[in-house]
A = this chain, B = another copy of it.
Amino acid sequence: MCVLHSSTLCFHGFSRSFHQLTICNSSNSSHNSTGLIPPLNQSVVALILGDGPESKLYPLTKRRSEAAIPIGARYRLIDIAISNCINSDITKIYTLTQTNSTSLNSHVSRAYSNIGVLGKEGFIDVLAACQSLENHCWFKGNVDMVRKWLWLLEKHPATEFLILPGHHLYFMDYRELIKTHRDSEADITVSVSSTYQINSSSSSYGFLILDNESRVLGFKEESSMDIGGRNMGIYVFKKNAMVKILKEYLPKANDFENEVIKGAISLGMKVQAHMFDGKWEDMNSIESFYHANMEINLIGQDFPIYTMPLCLPPTQISNANISQSMIGDGCIINRCKISNSIIGMRTFIADGAVIEDSFIMGRDFHHTDLKNQKELGSCTPIGIGEQTLIRKAIIDKNACIGKNVQICNSNGVQECEREVEGYIISGGIVTVLKNAVIPDNSII
C-alpha cells in the first residue's frame, strides 16, 4: 500500500524474548479523548521546565541544557515530555530554559516545526532566559522563570497551565490528569506516583498526605504507610490561580513544591492529587539517568515517541553477537560483542570490542567534519577502538575511544573528577565527555 506512516510508529519495547509481535493499543490522541470540554489543544498550555545552571546531570549538561541530553539511541530528553503532550492532544507548548538553549532550539525547531499546520493549532517555542529593561538579572529558579514569562503566558486564552519537568522518563496520558483536575474543581492538581517505593531513592520530590478524596493536606519527608505517594513535580494550575499565586500571593516563591504548593495549601486553595501508577523515573543524577536508560522497558507501550526524523543509512554489522540491546541507525558494527547496551546513532565499533551495560550516545558528526578530522591529524577515530572493553559506562557524543582501552572501573571508584582527561565517575558510573579523546591502552 502506498502509505508510509513515517512518524507515528510506536516505540515497541523489548525484553528477553518476544513470542509474538507486541500489538500496540490505540495510541492516537483522539482515541480515548475522554470527552474533555474544552478540548485540550485549545485550553491547555504546557510549560516544560528546563534547568538552572547547576545541573545534577553534569557533565552531560556541560554544553547543552538537560532537555537536550540524548536518550534511547536516537531521542533527546525533551522528546519524552513533548511526545506525552502530543499524545494527550496538548499542542501549545513552551520550553523554558535559562541555560544554553542552542541545541535545544535546534532540535525543537527541526523536529516539531510542523506541529501547528493544517487545522491543528499549536506551537512549541523555546523561551530562553533573556535580559530586558525591567529584568537585568537571571531567573532565580523555576517558579521565577515562569513568573518572568507571565506577561506572555497570561495572553493565552487557556484555562489551565500544565507544568512539566523536562528530565523525567514516563509515559502518561495527561488527559486523565486534566480530567481529575476539572472534575475536582481544584486550583492545583498534583500528579502523584503510587509506585514510589521503587523510586524512593532517586527523586528529590516529597511525599504527600492526602485525605479520603485525594485532596492534598501536606507533605511528609519520609515515605510511610499512611501517605498517598510521591509528588512527581507535574502540576496542573487553573490559569487564574497561577497568575494570582505568582504575582500576588507568593511573589517571592522560587520552588514549586516547597513554596508554591505548600503555600497554596496554607492559603486554603484546593490542591488535588491525581494518582499515577505507571513507571516513572526522575533522572536527577547521573546514576538515575543511567539506570533509567538501562532499564528502559517499553513493551506494550501504547504511545509513539516523536523526535527529529532522519535519513541515515541502515546499520551495518559485519559479525556481532548482540543481546538485550537497542541499536540506532547509521552504525558500523564490526566483530564485537554487545550486551545490555544502547548504541546510539552513527556509532562506529571496531573489531574485538566488548560493550556491556553501557550507553554509547553515538556521534552527530558528518562526513565533511570527519574528513576535516583526518586533515587535522587526529589519530583516534570517533567511536570505539579495537579490543576495547566498555562496561557500565556512558560515552557521550563524538568521543574517541582508542584501541585496547578498558573502561570498566575495576576498582569500583564511586566519585572521581577527571574532566581534563575526558571523564568523570559518579555513583560508580564512568561518563566519558562529549568530544573527549581516550588514548589507546588507557585503563579507567
- Interface segment among A182-190, A232-240, A250-258, A364-372: the answer is A364-372
A53-B133, A102-B126 as given contacts; A367 in contact with B157, CB under 8 Å: no
Q: Say if the beta carbon of A131 comes within 8 Å of chain B.
A: yes
- Interface segment among A271-279, A305-313, A407-415: the answer is A305-313
User: A113 to B116, Cβ gap below 8 A?
Assistant: no
In the docked arrangement, what's the CA distance between A369 and B106, Å?
A: 28
User: B98 to A130, Cβ gap below 8 A?
Assistant: yes
Q: Say if the beta carbon of A191 comes within 8 Å of chain B.
A: no
What's the least CB distance linking A189 to chain B, in Å? 22
Residues of B within 8 A of A155 (CB): 1
Residues of B within 8 A of A307 (CB): 311
Q: Say if the beta carbon of A199 comes within 8 Å of chain B.
A: no
3 pairs of A and B residues whose beta carbons are closest in the complex = A109-B109, A14-B316, A24-B367
Which chain A residues numbered 105 to 120 have a C-beta less than 8 Å away from chain B? 105-110, 112-120
- Interface segment among A2-10, A166-174, A213-221, A262-270: the answer is A2-10
User: B17 to A30, Cβ gap below 8 A?
Assistant: no
Tell me the number of copies of this protein: 4
User: A116 to B6, Cβ gap below 8 A?
Assistant: yes
A21-B382, A306-B311 as given contacts; A12 in contact with B316, CB under 8 Å: yes
Which B residue sits closest to A1, measured CB to CB?
A: B155
Which B residue sits closest to A94, measured CB to CB?
A: B102
Q: Report which residue of A136, A138, A327 has the largest number of chain B beta carbons within 10 angstroms of its beta carbon.
A: A327
User: A53 to B315, Cβ gap below 8 A?
Assistant: no
User: B127 to A102, Cβ gap below 8 A?
Assistant: yes
Q: Say if the beta carbon of A132 comes within 8 Å of chain B.
A: yes
User: B335 to A17, Cβ gap below 8 A?
Assistant: yes
A116-B6, A118-B306, A119-B306 as given contacts; A12 in contact with B332, CB under 8 Å: yes
Residues of B within 8 A of A150 (CB): none
- Interface segment among A200-208, A346-354, A387-395: the answer is A346-354
A294-321 to B contact mask, C-beta < 8 Å, 1/0:
0000000000111111111111111111
In the docked arrangement, what's the CA distance between A348 and B24, Å?
A: 14
Q: Say if the beta carbon of A377 comes within 8 Å of chain B.
A: no
User: A1 to B152, Cβ gap below 8 A?
Assistant: yes
A11-B313, A315-B326 as given contacts; A129 in contact with B126, CB under 8 Å: no
Q: Say if the beta carbon of A101 comes within 8 Å of chain B.
A: yes
User: A27 to B152, Cβ gap below 8 A?
Assistant: no
Q: Say if the beta carbon of A165 comes within 8 Å of chain B.
A: no
Residues of B within 8 A of A25 (CB): 371
- Interface segment among A34-42, A284-292, A436-444: the answer is A34-42
Q: Say if the beta carbon of A212 comes within 8 Å of chain B.
A: no
User: B306 to A309, Cβ gap below 8 A?
Assistant: no
Residues of B within 8 A of A2 (CB): 63-64, 68, 102-103, 105-106, 125, 152
A7-B118, A310-B309 as given contacts; A131 in contact with B129, CB under 8 Å: yes
Return 27 A-B CB contacts under 8 Å, by A number: A1-B103, A1-B155, A2-B152, A3-B123, A4-B110, A7-B310, A9-B311, A9-B330, A10-B367, A13-B316, A14-B318, A17-B319, A24-B367, A26-B368, A27-B367, A28-B119, A29-B119, A30-B41, A31-B39, A54-B133, A105-B125, A105-B126, A128-B128, A304-B367, A314-B329, A315-B327, A320-B322
A21-B383, A26-B368, A118-B86 as given contacts; A106 in contact with B123, CB under 8 Å: yes
A121-152 to B contact mask, C-beta < 8 Å, 1/0:
10101111111110010100000000000011
